């Protein structure tokens, strides 16, 4: 018997919040949804705020996540942060392969794979982001792009490790634009990703893995998106920066 997939809502704060702002936001999230056990919840603040936010969410059901990680253990990699460094400040989840990393900082399917392997090796739980651009969708390439991203991310990763990952389907054209994918578009893409996962691993695996939707999810559209059979949660950017909006997404979940 397969376990039903528990919904998972994660806030991606991106490059927002100084330490004071982060602590205030974290406290607001704790007050709004900190005792919720029906949904898994995480917040992913910038590196400089991880320790302070970790303190602010202590004792609640909110988990701590980071926004990126480097795959090498240590050494001369100026500006980078390792898995062990994240573990040492009680980080549980790590976003890997976000489209902003892919677009602005040279992230490729290969680096996503290296980061995912390193994170799993260190006991972190990756949130692996995939998604097509508007041009790719209009050219009918959504499936080709997303398939390559999913296969690339999980290349050489054994089943048990892969099962601790979450996939976030984030169509690039929906991120920060206010134009979300329709619930049907999201569900279709998620179902497609599940078919790929079934090919890479097996059907049980595909049915067990959680797939979040990301891209302009907000209180007003969360219920419809989260109501889709293959949508298991959300990766929330803009709406995660206000505790009430974030809570307005956790509640329908």
CB of 181 to ligand PGA, least distance (A): 10
In degrees and rounded to multiples of 5, residue 211 shows phi and psi of: -125, 115
Report helix angle 243-250 to 19-33, nearest 10.
Answer: 40
CB atoms within 10 A of CB 13: 23
CB atoms within 10 A of CB 94: 26
Q: From CA 213, how far away is CA 95, in angstroms rounded?
A: 13
Between 96 and 201, whose beta carbon lies closer to ligand PGA?
96
> Per the residue annotation, which of 100, 107, 132, 170 is the catalytic one?
170
Q: From CA 63, how far away is CA 56, in angstroms rounded?
A: 11
Between 176 and 227, whose beta carbon lies closer to ligand PGA?
176
Is 70 noted as a catalytic residue in this protein? no
CB of 51 to ligand PGA, least distance (A): 23
Q: From CA 102, how far away is CA 153, in angstroms rounded?
A: 13
Q: Which positions ≥6 away from 90 have C-beta within 8 Å?
A: 54, 64
Between 119 and 175, whose beta carbon lies closer to ligand PGA?
175
Site residues, ligand PGA (CB under 6 A): 12, 170, 175-176, 214-217, 235-239
CB of 44 to ligand PGA, least distance (A): 9
CB of 124 to ligand PGA, least distance (A): 18
- Position of minimal CB gap to ligand PGA: 237
> Per the residue annotation, which of 98, 100, 107, 132 is the catalytic one?
98
CB of 220 to ligand PGA, least distance (A): 13
In degrees and rounded to multiples of 5, residue 3 shows phi and psi of: -75, 140
DSSP-based helix, strand, coil % in the chain, nearest 5: 50, 15, 35
Is 24 noted as a catalytic residue in this protein? no
Tell me the catalytic residues.
98, 170
């Amino acid at each position: 018997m397969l376990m039903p997939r528990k919904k998972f809502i994660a806030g991606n704060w991106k490059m927002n919040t100084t330490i004071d702002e982060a602590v205030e936001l974290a406290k607001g999230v704790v007050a709004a949804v900190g005792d919720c056990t029906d949904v898994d919840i995480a917040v992913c603040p910038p590196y400089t705020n991880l320790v302070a936010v970790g303190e602010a969410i202590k004792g609640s059901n909110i988990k701590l996540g980071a926004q990126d990680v480097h795959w090498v253990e240590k050494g001369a990699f100026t500006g980078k942060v390792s898995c062990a460094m994240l573990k040492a400040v009680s980080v549980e989840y790590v976003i890997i392969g976000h489209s902003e990393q892919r677009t602005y900082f040279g992230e490729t399917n290969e680096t996503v794979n290296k980061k995912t392997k390193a994170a799993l090796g260190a006991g972190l739980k990756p949130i692996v982001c995939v998604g097509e651009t508007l041009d790719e969708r209009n050219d009918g390439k959504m499936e080709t792009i997303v398939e390559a991203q999913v296969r690339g991310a999980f290349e050489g990763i054994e089943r048990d490790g892969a099962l601790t990952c979450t996939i976030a389907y984030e169509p690039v054209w929906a991120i920060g634009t206010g134009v979300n994918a329709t619930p049907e578009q999201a569900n279709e893409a998620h179902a497609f990703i599940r078919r790929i996962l079934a090919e890479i691993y097996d059907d049980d695996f595909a049915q067990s893995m959680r797939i979040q939707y990301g891209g302009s999810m907000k209180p007003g559209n969360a219920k419809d998106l989260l109501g889709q059979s293959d949508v298991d949660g959300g990766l929330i950017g803009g709406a995660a920066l206000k505790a009430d909006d974030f809570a307005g997404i956790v509640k329908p979940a």
